[in-house]
Amino acid sequence: MTGKTVVFLCVANSARSQMAEGLARAHAPGGWQVFSAGSNPGRLSSTAVEAMREVGIDISTHRSKGMEDVPLEDADLIITLCAEEVCPVAPGGRARRLHWPLSDPAAGTGDPGARLERFRAVRDDLARRIAELWTD
């Protein structure tokens, strides 16, 4: 990768894109700026915070943001993370675009343990994919 700004997009900016932002900020090479946003921002998921804390990354101060709150026009890379929902469409620009269809871990039902497992699975998938970004 030669760009310096990456933006992760999903719908609520509460789980997938927040975890991606935290992971990318923790592991990006120097000089990178990392943002996340949603087309219909909600609230940061406490389960996402817990799953990230398990790997030593604190996203507890993050907040859900709309697409107008991040520098999409300056992005070198935009990554959408939606699977079942309609993903946000970022306006024009020069950015390289990737789509990583990941199921929303907050959408399922079940006990807290099962819910945390879904978040862990998405977190680990994101971690693998993000690590590969810096080797392209």
pTM, entire model: 0.94
Q: What is the pLDDT of residue 93?
A: 78
Q: What is the pLDDT of residue 92?
A: 67
Q: What is the pLDDT of residue 51?
A: 98
Q: What is the pLDDT of residue 3?
A: 63
Q: What is the pLDDT of residue 86?
A: 86
Q: For the chain, which domains are there?
A: 5-133 (3.40.50.2300)
Look at residues 50, 23, 39, 36 and name the one whose alpha carbon lies nearest to residue 106.
50
* Single-letter residue type at 49: V
For 39, the token pair is: 């087309």
β 77-80/33-38 pair status: unpaired
Q: Supply the DSSP symbol for 106.
A: T
**Tens-digit pLDDT profile for the chain (136 aa)?**
556 999 999 999 999 999 999 999 999 998 899 999 999 999 999 999 999 999 999 999 999 999 999 999 999 999 999 998 888 888 767 899 999 999 999 988 889 999 999 999 999 999 999 999 977 5
The residues annotated with a catalytic role in the active site are 10, 82, 87
The C-alpha atoms of residue 2 and residue 124 are separated, in whole angstroms, by 24
Q: What is the pLDDT of residue 136?
A: 57
Q: What is the pLDDT of residue 84?
A: 84
Q: What is the pLDDT of residue 79?
A: 96
Q: What is the pLDDT of residue 91?
A: 77
